Structure 1
Amino acid sequence: MTTALLLIDIQNDYFDGGKCPLVGMDVAAKHSVNLLDAFRESSLPVIHVRHEFLDTETAFFSAGSEGALIHPLLAPAQGEPVVVKHQINSFKGTPLVDLLEERGVKNVVIAGAMTYMCVDAVTRAAADLGYVCSVAHDACATMDVEFEGVKVEAAQVHAAVMAALDFAFAEVRSTQVLIEEVLLINAVKKASERWKSAFNAGNAAGCAAEYESNAVMQAKPFGVYTGADEVRGFWEKLIADGFSDVEYIDPVITVLDHQQAVITSGWKMNKAGGVIHKELWVLQEDGSAKLREDDFEAQ
């Protein structure tokens, strides 16, 4: 359930002074920096993609040229892979799929350029490969285009592409909304890991600490437990009965809004297994996440 940031072709030639400056590239780059900062702070994977045309006589992104380098604002940090591509589709002829699989990535957030070319292509390809895609619309840029005498300004080109992607291939969101989702997911993952660590250490109080004070837990077929005391009592009995070594199987995090997310998953312990139908995690004022609803079943 890991989410990765894909930064597509944010290269010098697309900026003012480059060989192919785009409309709004500076603004898109600033939003991309904000996304990059959020992913780095959350220790989530970041993959940079840059384009090189092998023909050195091309109009821009010539192999070995300064214009083909990633812009300094988005310079890769140590350990962040850089995929060099020669096609519009970032997956074609590159190790991008392998890099995503190695990192356990299921969801991708996409930003970069150009909207109607490489951003469009990588989003459609990623969706076809089964990745859950989000596109930061204000972290992408494009250019004016013309076809058979019809001139289309960059803003309309951008809007048309984003509308199509949002219809069938991705969740198209603002950078701010996506950052809020990243921070929420990170908080939920950390809280979930704390809960599992506490349970496996035989610490029922630590388990209960990850619930809101008025949380409701439905533990089928055992019953319904309301409030921290009842929740702690349930886990105390389970631990006393010798249950341990809990693991989640193929967990999925679904963001409901900027403050709430749901985990669904299979689970197993040393002496039982089952299904988590719904863990509703809610962001707290201190930036942590706690369980408001916990609905699971032993099978």
Structure 2
Amino acid sequence: MTTHTSPVQALLVVDVQRAFVRGDGALPEAARLVDRTADLITRARAAGALVVHIQNDGATGGDDEPGTPGWELHHHVEAGPTEVVIRKTHDDAFQETSLGGLLTASGVASVAVCGLMSEMCVQATARTAVALDHRVVLPYDAHATYDIPAEPGISEAVPAGVVSRVAAWPLSRDADVTARAADVTFTAPTAPAARG
């Protein structure tokens, strides 16, 4: 695990929506996740980094069905040229969205990825960011998931912390997995050169 990383130019806040961080359906580590992601957002804004809130459009009847209270983003969005919301319908926030084009157009070469769920949307989004040649920082204490229940004949219950650790492990070959969100620093993107 990395302890110090060079500044990143964008923060991807994945699916930090009310259904997952409030009430009976909240993640076991929801309070920690909300605290760490709020701090990352505050510091990214202050540095002029691009902040992208990813919002999952869940299935009809799901906890994150569009238009329902659970679908709403937990963190306030300061909409503008350096802070946007991108909605998605797949685990990977790049799939069938404008995220890749936005990062390119904004001159972003490096991103930090945080949010939920570790083994699904966070991992899928981080993997694609790596595949698109972005430097990726994954702050370990700023992503989370649910416990996996026991399945007779397969395994005992798997605690959420273990699931998150396993999700981050394969990314450590290609991304900077840092233990603490507090170690992530930000800088403004460098605008791409105009084409003639």
TM range (shorter): 0.7 to 0.9
Q: Distance in 2 between matches of 1:172 and 1:45?
A: 20
Equivalent residue for 1:160, pick from 155, 161, 166: 166
Q: Which 4+ runs in 1 deviate beyond 4 A?
A: none
Whether 1:57 aligns to 2:61 is yes
How much has 1:147 moved relative to structure 2? 6.4
How much has 1:169 moved relative to structure 2? 2.9
Relative contact order, CA 8 A, sep 6+: which one is greater? 2
Q: Is the 8 A contact 1:112 1:139 kept in 2?
A: yes
Q: Is the 8 A contact 2:57 2:64 kept in 1?
A: yes
Deviations 1:133-154 (A, max 9, x none): 0011111111111464312111
Equivalent residue for 1:84, pick from 84, 87, 95: 87
How much has 1:48 moved relative to structure 2? 0.7
Structure 2 portions without partners, runs of 5+: 1-6
Residue identity in the other structure for 2:99? L
How much has 1:16 moved relative to structure 2? 3.0
Alignment of 1:49-198 (within 5 A): 49-53=54-58, 55-58=59-62, 60-71=63-74, 74-79=75-80, 80-146=83-149, 148-149=151-152, 150=155, 151-166=157-172, 168-173=173-178, 174-179=180-185, 182=186
Structure 1 portions without partners, runs of 5+: 190-248, 251-299
Deviations 1:67-119 (A, max 9, x none): 00100xx2110211100001111111111011111110010001101111100
Counterpart in the other structure of 1:41: 46
Determine helix, strand or coil for the equivalent of 2:9. Answer: strand
Say if 1:91 and 1:97 are closer, same or farther in 2 by CA, change over 3 A: same
Q: Is the 8 A contact 1:32 1:139 kept in 2?
A: yes
Alignment of 1:249-264 (within 5 A): none
How much has 1:15 moved relative to structure 2? 1.6
How much has 1:44 moved relative to structure 2? 1.1
Q: Distance in 2 between matches of 1:147 and 1:134?
A: 32
State how many pairs are aligned.
Answer: 180
What is the TM-score with the length of structure 1 in the denominator? 0.56
Determine helix, strand or coil for the equivalent of 2:22. Answer: coil
Q: Is the 8 A contact 1:123 1:169 kept in 2?
A: no
Q: Distance in 2 between matches of 1:160 and 1:11?
A: 23
Give percent identity, aligned residues only: 27
Q: Is the 8 A contact 1:25 1:140 kept in 2?
A: no
Q: Is the 8 A contact 2:114 2:122 kept in 1?
A: yes
- Bigger CA radius of gyration: 1
Counterpart in the other structure of 2:20: 14
> Which one has the bigger strand percentage?
1
Determine helix, strand or coil for the equivalent of 1:46. Answer: strand
Cα RMSD (Å) of the superposition? 2.2
Deviations 1:233-260 (A, max 9, x none): xxxxxxxxxxxxxxxx99xxxxxxxxxx
